[in-house]
Structure 1
Amino acid sequence: MKIALVGYGKMGKTIERIAQSRGHEIVLTIGSKNTEDYITENIQKADAVIEFTRPELALNNVSQSLKAGVPVVCGTTGWNESVPQAAALCAEHQTALIQSSNFSIGVNIFFELNKQLAQMMNHQDTYQVGVSETHHTQKLDAPSGTAITIAEQIVQQLERKNKWVKEEAHNDEELAIQAFRVDEVPGIHVVTYHSEIDDIEIKHTAHNRDGFALGAVLAAEFLVGKQGLYTMQDVLFPRK
């Protein structure tokens, strides 16, 4: 498979290494110094685009690829309100998109566990739930997109919660996400249900970026030849 990388920082270079180890060819790399090369003619040399940039750039980058008829794997967070616009382009140009807050296989398994645990805890009112995340100091957004996904899943399952908030809850209906920034931490996410009797905790710790990169490459492999908007659950847990 031929892959175009949009965003060529640490994550882009890790994706390049993982993709090449799986026998794929990188035919285009776009970084901050050569954005003028991201044109239809070059995009169409690829079977799929993998995009990891910034929220303000994501919609334009994704749209350019979809208009060129090339499917996109997008790992940029913070532009969720525009994803329906991108989904419409998928239909118009008969191609496909996967946008996820986290492409790690382990994190997506964690997402499934989180939903099941929250459902089980729905009527256990003696437990107070909290979410925390820790990342490297170069990560600009806080809380992380992954932590927001985790919190939104909990809010959907727990009738006693109606929204998530950053750092500190002001009433029992709010779910607090605590965000910490520490040098050289790829990512830690923790969900804790606390009571006076005991704690229940699930935790995911990333040791490096390879898990995120592998998931993105698997998503690109999955998308080739497909049409529409997909999720990592479609990639990892296909319906029979």
Structure 2
Amino acid sequence: MKIALLGYGRMGKNIESIALNRNHTITLKIADANSDYNFSDADVAIDFSVPSAAVNNIKKALDAGVPVVSGTTGWLDKYDEILDYCKSKNGTFLYASNFSLGVNLFFELNKKLSELMAGFTEYSTEIEEIHHTQKLDAPSGTAITLAEQIIKFNNYTNWTLDQPKSNEIHIAAKRIENVPGTHEITYSSEIDSISIKHTAHSRQGFAMGAIIAAEWIKDKKGVFSMKDVLNIG
């Protein structure tokens, strides 16, 4: 498979290493938003760029008829625009806030616990996420996904990084050197606390998941998620 890498930071380099080990070829590496694009040899594009470049990267790949897998966060206010653009181009697009197999299983666990806790209003809910100091956005896309899942089943209407109101989930976003990613959801009452937690030990799981998604999406049309790739949920 021939891959165009849109974004060549730490994740891009991890993806490149795993792709080469799986006998794929990197035909294009875009290091910044102003780089030239030539998708003529690409079977699929993988976008792990920066929020300010993601929408442009994705649209250019779709313009060229190349399926896109995107893991860039911080641009999701334009997500519906990208979905409409993909459909107008009869293209292929897959976005995930996290490509790790473990995190996607964690999403399913979070949904189930949210359902179970729905009737117990004496518990307050908080999310803590910790990432490396180079991560540009806060909270993480994964933390936002977790919060949105909880909101769907409970009386919360929003999440916040600030002091929460009664209808808000507080997300504590911390940046610590060399932490690939940790997410913990805690339900607390005066009597006890219930927590679930996912800890990434390296970026390899994220990079491998992105490659698996690219392999899966290569010859398909439409809009997909990691639930489709992993056949879970």
The one-letter code of the counterpart of 1:184 is N
- Secondary structure of 2:42's match? coil
Q: Retained in 2: the 8 A contact 1:168–1:178? A: no
Match of 1:101 in 2: 97
Match of 1:166 in 2: 161
- Residue 80 of structure 1, CA deviation: 1.5
Runs of 4+ deviating beyond 3 Å: none
State the identity %. 50
Match of 1:85 in 2: 81
Taking the aligned partners of 1:218 and 1:167, their CA distance within structure 2 comes to 36
Q: Which moved more, 1:113-122 or 1:72-81?
A: 72-81
What TM-score results when the alignment is normalised by the length of structure 1?
A: 0.92
Q: Which moved more, 1:79-88 or 1:45-54?
A: 79-88
- Residue 90 of structure 1, CA deviation: 2.3
- Secondary structure of 1:44's match? coil
Which residues in structure 2 correspond to 1:81-230 (within 5 Å)? 81-158=77-154, 160-169=155-164, 171-230=165-224
Match of 1:63 in 2: 59
Taking the aligned partners of 1:63 and 1:102, their CA distance within structure 2 comes to 21
- Residue 25 of structure 1, CA deviation: 1.1
- Residue 104 of structure 1, CA deviation: 1.1
- Residue 52 of structure 1, CA deviation: 0.8
Gap regions ≥5 residues in structure 2 = none
Alignment RMSD (CA, Å): 1.5
Match of 1:75 in 2: 71
Q: Retained in 2: the 8 A contact 1:164–1:174? A: yes
- Secondary structure of 1:36's match? coil
Taking the aligned partners of 1:87 and 1:154, their CA distance within structure 2 comes to 24
Residues 141-171 of structure 1: CA deviation (Å, up to 9, x unaligned): 111111111111111111x2111111421x3
What TM-score results when the alignment is normalised by the length of structure 2?
A: 0.95
Which residues in structure 2 correspond to 1:36-55 (within 5 Å)? 36-38=35-37, 42-55=38-51
Match of 1:3 in 2: 3
Q: Retained in 2: the 8 A contact 1:134–1:179? A: yes
Match of 2:25 in 1: 25
- Secondary structure of 2:106's match? helix
Gap regions ≥5 residues in structure 1 = none
Taking the aligned partners of 2:232 and 2:124, their CA distance within structure 1 comes to 33
- Secondary structure of 2:35's match? helix
Taking the aligned partners of 1:16 and 1:123, their CA distance within structure 2 comes to 46
Q: Retained in 2: the 8 A contact 1:168–1:177? A: no
Taking the aligned partners of 1:15 and 1:55, their CA distance within structure 2 comes to 19
Q: Retained in 2: the 8 A contact 1:6–1:30? A: yes
Residues 121-147 of structure 1: CA deviation (Å, up to 9, x unaligned): 000122111100011111121111111
Taking the aligned partners of 1:76 and 1:36, their CA distance within structure 2 comes to 17
- Residue 35 of structure 1, CA deviation: 4.2
